[in-house]
Amino acid sequence: MRCGISEAGARGSPVQGWFGMSDSELLVTALSGLVGLLPEPGDLVEPLHRVIDSATDALDLAGCAVLLVADGYSGVVTATPAALADVALSQRSSERGPALDALRHGEPVAVADVREHHSA
């Protein structure tokens, strides 16, 4: 599941489409830094936090969160900024929002402001 939360001009340039990348080299650099990233047994949070930090920078997002879903249970593993974890948990408890839309439809969902999308 992928869900992007973006803001026009959040990092200097307007978001263009889902990926909103102005510099493909940044994406290549970010992904290259993740090659060989193998977590220690029981330590998944730190590697996932590195992934979302890289995704946030490379895709020019205002924030990113990892929500794992298994057997009807879901939980936020990590988020940046940290306040986004509260947004993700709110989506889970209300059963509405772009993260759940992405999960239900199997497609990325990009929104300019998750607060507006969530309250609709």
What is the reported pTM? 0.56
Helices (H) and strands (E) in the chain, counts: 5, 4
pLDDT score of 103? 81
Query: pLDDT by residue (tens digit) across 48-88?
Result: 888 888 888 888 888 888 877 777 667 777 888 888 888 88
Cis ω before 81 (30° cut-off from 0)? yes
Amino acid, res. 107: E
Residue 118 has pLDDT above 60, yes or no: no
DSSP, res 12 = S
The percent of residues in the chain predicted with pLDDT above 90, rounded, is 0
Q: Tell whether the model's pLDDT for residue 20 goes beyond 50.
A: no
Domain spans of the chain? 3-119
